[in-house]
């Protein structure tokens, strides 16, 4: 009875988080790092995962600094995972700036490419084949090909799950089904995944893994225990927990997720690499580094992360 087994598995992915309190996903005055571990020592492994679709902005640099402090605070490991799946949007100078920025901030990492040269040797096509093969971990009746555009989805519900369309590059995306009553707790707040994200995309129309899928598989393979990201990614966290439960990636599903306040521009808007893609990169002189570290202290303190 594969249909029933799949349904039970996906119901468990939602139900497992309905009764969870802030022990794992808290950002309260008490440090969530200690409460998540129930007084037990665990190996901490976190990661900085930039996307080279533009030069890193101040918000990205603050995230890198806070994440490195978390690893040092707990004697853990920091991984560098550069999200370069969409090679058409990425420029070599954007990737090069990642390494130079981390060097300027004196951030060391123990996992991931040690240099730009090592990173450039990575075979993105092999990576995409690997990520595509991992889709077999999902129950087949919970994924479906969809030919709807974003415009169509605004106008009407998607009918594609019932159509059993073939998943064809250039014509369809691959989505994962989310039940209407699926609730995932993020930082103690219940997230109705269907309402917020719908049946979200795992594989893009252009043949590239979507952010949610690549993130979950990478964090599973890295053995990530702690994730530090901005508050704008709380819905993404809900999606990742849901997916991780579906594929049995318990360490990802039970990781400690910490969401820090966003660093905003002078106009009050959230900083965006794509919006600033034509701008010059931040010059990491002593004054800029001091500003980054000051901002990092401000957003790290509520999370119980100490500068080091």
Chain segment 222-259, per-residue pLDDT in tens: 999 999 999 999 999 999 999 999 999 999 999 999 99
Query: 219 — phi, psi (to 5°)?
Result: -65, -35
Confirm whether 6 is domain-assigned. no
Confirm whether 26 is domain-assigned. yes
* pLDDT higher than threshold 50 for residue 66: yes
**Which of 301, 298, 238, 224 is closest to 25 using CA atoms?**
238
Q: Are 268 and 84 in contact (CB under 8 A)?
A: no
What confidence category does residue 166 fall into, taking pLDDT thresholds of 50, 70 and 90? Answer: very high
**Average pLDDT estimate for 59-67:** 98
Confirm whether 37 is domain-assigned. yes
Domain that holds residue 121: 19-140+212-303
Domain of residue 56, CATH code: 3.40.50.620
pLDDT digits (tens, 9 = 90+) for 199-226: 999 999 999 999 999 999 999 999 999 9
pLDDT for position 18: 40
The two structure tokens encoding residue 115: 């240099």
Domain count, the chain: 1
pTM for the model stands at 0.83
Q: At what angle do helices 211-222 and 234-247 cross, to 10 degrees?
A: 60
Confirm whether 78 is domain-assigned. yes
Confirm whether 226 is domain-assigned. yes
Strands (E), the chain: 45-48, 77-80, 143-146, 173-176, 183-186, 189-192, 201-203, 226-230, 256-260
Confirm whether 88 is domain-assigned. yes
- The per-residue pLDDT of the chain, averaged, comes to 86
Confirm whether 166 is domain-assigned. no
pLDDT for position 244: 98
What confidence category does residue 121 fall into, taking pLDDT thresholds of 50, 70 and 90? Answer: confident
* pLDDT higher than threshold 60 for residue 58: yes
Confirm whether 87 is domain-assigned. yes
pLDDT for position 23: 29
More confidently predicted of 153 and 242: 242
* pLDDT higher than threshold 90 for residue 271: no
* pLDDT higher than threshold 70 for residue 13: no
**Which of 144, 137, 223, 183 is closest to 13 using CA atoms?**
183
Handedness of CA 51, 57, 62, 64 (dihedral sign): positive
pLDDT for position 195: 94
Instruction: Count Cβ atoms below 10 Å from residue 147 Cβ, excluding itself.
Output: 15
Instruction: Count Cβ atoms below 10 Å from residue 13 Cβ, excluding itself.
Output: 24
């Amino acid at each position: 009875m594969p249909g029933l087994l799949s349904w039970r598995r996906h119901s468990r992915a939602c139900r497992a988080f309905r009764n969870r309190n802030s022990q794992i996903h808290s950002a309260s005055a008490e440090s969530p790092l200690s409460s998540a571990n129930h007084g037990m020592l665990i190996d901490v492994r976190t990661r900085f995962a930039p996307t080279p679709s533009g030069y890193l902005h101040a918000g990205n640099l603050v995230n890198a600094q806070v994440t490195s402090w978390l690893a040092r605070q707990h004697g853990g490991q920091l991984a560098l995972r550069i999200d370069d799946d969409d090679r058409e949007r990425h420029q070599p100078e954007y990737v090069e700036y990642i390494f130079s920025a981390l060097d300027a901030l004196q951030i060391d990492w123990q996992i991931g490419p040690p240099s730009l040269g090592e990173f450039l040797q990575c075979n993105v096509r092999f990576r995409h084949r690997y990520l595509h093969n991992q889709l077999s971990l999902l129950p087949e009746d919970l994924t479906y090909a969809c030919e709807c555009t974003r415009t169509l989805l605004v106008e009407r519900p998607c009918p594609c799950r019932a159509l059993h369309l073939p998943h064809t590059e250039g014509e369809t995306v691959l989505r994962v089904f989310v039940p209407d009553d699926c609730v995932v707790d993020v930082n103690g707040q219940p997230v109705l995944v269907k309402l917020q994200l719908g049946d979200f995309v795992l594989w893009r129309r252009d043949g590239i893994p979507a952010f949610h899928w690549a993130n979950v598989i990478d964090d599973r393979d890295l053995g990530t225990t702690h994730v530090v990201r901005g508050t704008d990614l709380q819905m993404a966290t809900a999606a990742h927990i849901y997916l991780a439960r579906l594929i049995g990636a318990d360490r990802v599903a039970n990781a400690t997720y910490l969401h820090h306040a966003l660093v905003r521009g002078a106009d009050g808007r959230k900083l965006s690499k794509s919006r600033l893609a034509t701008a010059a990169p931040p010059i990491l002189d002593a004054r800029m580094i001091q500003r980054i570290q000051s901002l990092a202290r401000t957003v790290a303190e509520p999370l119980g992360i100490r500068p080091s």
